[in-house]
Amino acid sequence: MKLARVALLAAAFVAAVAVCSSSASGEANGQERAALRIEIDGAIGPASAMQFEEALAVAAERNAEVFILQMNTPGGLVTSMREIIADILASPVPVIGYVAPAGGHAASAGTYILYATHVAAMAPGTNLGAATPIEMGGPMPSFPGDDKNNGPEAGKDPKNPPAGNAKATNDAVALIRSLAELRGRNADWGEKAVREAASLSASAALQENVIDFVARDTTELLQLADGRTVEIAGRKKVLATKGLPVETLEPGWLI
């Protein structure tokens, strides 16, 4: 009788532990199924690239469902832009690029970054494009044998741009086309944004297959992203984003 009672108490203890473990797991899963967000408002430089890298690491550590990159930027440094793009391409967490708020834009470097994201969206009243590389710090030096591309007539004919500018432009075209092919977006318009500084409104970007959808706010953004399939580390992942809590990571948390 005593042994039976001990066995019963032991079974009850094991059951209680199982319930607690299940509850703790549920709480952990609840935390994991969150959307983390970072906002880049202004020019893209080393500080914003570092901020993005650190925030994405936090999202990965917490196993966030998605990471929202909200942008309103006139562009920035090519090196910083490429660092952000590299982080997006290597991310274990799906990155949603979102141009917002209304009146904002993802110009120049912002366009390349938006092309790199797993899901691309814009708020109504925003625009993107004008992605032609701009040289900083004065004209490029001439190269031997390249006088015809660096003389007084260089740059007046689109087919005869300065040699240095042509090099940077061709490199930028290759980048944006490769990102477009990776994400199934409009590569021809991407090249036009680089070579001709073309720009698009949010609705036009949707029609041109540059973005996936237009969203008025973060709530609608997550609703429209729900059920979409993205590729992470060579594997398909179906997003479950509808109704997720959103936590914004502020710059002040960086160490």
Active site residues: 108, 167
Which uninterrupted H or E stretch holds 193? helix 187-195
Yes or no: say if 98 and 104 are a contact pair by the CB < 8 Å rule: no
Residue 90 has a CB neighbour count (10 Å cut-off) of 9
Query: What is the distance of C-alpha 151 from the center of its chain?
Result: 40
Residue corresponding to tokens 């409104």: 201
Question: Is 72 in a helix, a strand, or coil?
Answer: strand
φ/ψ of 148, rounded to 5, equals: -65, -20
Specify the 3-state DSSP secondary structure of 175: helix
Q: How many helices (H) and strands (E) does the chain have?
A: 8, 11
DSSP assignments along 94-112, one per residue: -EEEEE-STT-EEETHHHH
C-alpha distances in Å from residue 182, one per residue of 79, 117, 178: 21, 10, 6
Q: What gap in Å lies between CA 64 and CA 57, rounded to an integer?
A: 10
**Phi, psi (rounded to 5 degrees) for 208:** -90, 5
Q: Are 169 and 149 in contact (CB under 8 A)?
A: no
